Chain A
Amino acid sequence: MYAQMVDTGASRLRSREEMDADEQAFQARIDDGQKIEAQDWMPEGYRRTLVRQISQHAHSEIVGMLPEGNWITRAPSLKRKAILLAKVQDEAGHGLYLYSAAETLGVSREQLVDDLHTGRAKYSSIFNYPTLTWADIGAIGWLVDGAAIMNQIPLCRCSYGPYSRAMVRVCKEESFHQRQGYDLLLALCRGSEEQKAMAQDALERWWWPALMMFGPPDADSVHSAQSQAWKIKLLSNDELRQKFVDQTVPQAEYLGLRVPDADLRWNTERGHYDFGAIDWSEFHAVLKGNGPCNRERLQARREAWAEGEWVRAAALAYADKHAAAERHSQAA
């Protein structure tokens, strides 16, 4: 997902008897459906895991602006350009909501940004793929944001108050992202043969990376079990992936596009689509930094940060100067 394979620091899930009194009370609050707030006591593992998960989510929103930003100046009409600008601005906003939520856990913005730029923190594998044609902008909205919604809707109910409130805001805005992508592809699919071929090509390139976004099967993962006990992960990766496939395949059929999976078929018995095996070696390679665009993405972020340094410094100097002048005039 936007946060993939989050390490909880747990080697196994501990029973209630093994927890100390504080941890037991904490787990009881979570089991009771209460929200944890920033000032409340929380186990160090819960805090650290949330910082990892929320910051990875935030970094994904920020890095996610890059593949789409590539097409702002090349959008085919003023209408599409205005829509894409609004969408990319939303992604910046989502990143900022999430950084704020992470900062309530006692980590500074500077540290978070630094972790991204030095490669200590991860962001979603999906943003390391290139946007080669205009149809890719449609595929990102429809598939990538569609997959993100699958994951984020349950997170609105997660146990950490600031994270859950950020997710509510994000989800309100995300639906626009998915619909504009589908609308874009619908226009291409109703257009010339060439335009339809472009949409088909985009689906073929984005389908499998979109399925990988949910992460490897984690039903037996100790981290997943711990995160579920803490209610910062509500559904397993495979459950979310299945929901996504079930929802998306009919939408592809409506577009008249072919999903690039020979094993894809409706299973009446299960009431779900069966689908082919995912190439997890590709996922792990991308996560390790060897996807098509990993280096380019990080370099773009580092350059943007470095080139903005003088603006941040100047604004702070200006604020300091005026605060000093005000103190001076009050003293006089």
Chain B
Amino acid sequence: MKDWPLWEVFIRSQHGLAHKHVGSVHAPDAALALKNARDVYTRRNEGVSIWVVPSAAITASAPDDKAALFEPAQDKIYRHPTFFPVPEEVKHM
């Protein structure tokens, strides 16, 4: 028999925080994926909310595109506040 499909599991650890990827589970459908994720990834109060997403539905950037995607940001240091010196006299900004 073929494997049950794979689902990626995301958990919100506390109210106010974003869901974070924690791992994956196999399940035949979304309802069972949620149940399995609950059993496998939240046995010690790890979360207040779970998302499950079919792994096949995720589009990921390719490692080979890393330079094209992310290098352009590296030389734009003026995008960070620390680029701008604040005069001593101006205390808080």
Name A residues whose Cβ lies closer than 8 Å to a Cβ of B.
37, 39-41, 86, 89-90, 93, 96-97, 100, 103, 108-110, 165-166, 169, 173, 309, 312-313, 315-316, 318-319, 322-323
Contacts and interface: CB of A to CB of B under 8 A. Distances in A.
Given A89-B43, A100-B25, A316-B28, A40 B63 contact: yes
Contacts of B60: 39
Nearest to A314: B28
Given A39-B60, A89-B39, A312-B1, 16 more contacts: A39-B63, A40-B63, A96-B25, A103-B6, A109-B26, A110-B3, A166-B23, A173-B44, A312-B4, A315-B28, A315-B29, A316-B2, A316-B4, A318-B28, A318-B29, A322-B29
Contacts of B62: 39
Contact of B23 (A39, A97, A315): A97
Contacts of A40: 63
A41 B29 contact: no
Interface string B4-16: 1010000000000
Interface of B: 1-4, 6, 22-26, 28-29, 32, 39-41, 43-44, 60, 62-63
- By DSSP majority rule, is chain A's interface helix, strand, loop, or mixed? helix
Contact of A323 (B3, B24, B26, B29): B29
Minimum-distance CB pairs A-B, first 10: A319-B29, A319-B28, A315-B28, A316-B28, A100-B24, A110-B3, A39-B63, A109-B3, A40-B63, A96-B40
18 contacts: A37-B63, A41-B63, A93-B40, A93-B41, A96-B25, A96-B40, A109-B3, A169-B22, A309-B1, A312-B1, A312-B4, A316-B1, A316-B4, A316-B28, A318-B29, A319-B28, A319-B32, A322-B29
Nearest to B8: A100
A316 B62 CA distance: 32
Contacts of B41: 93
Contacts of A96: 25, 40
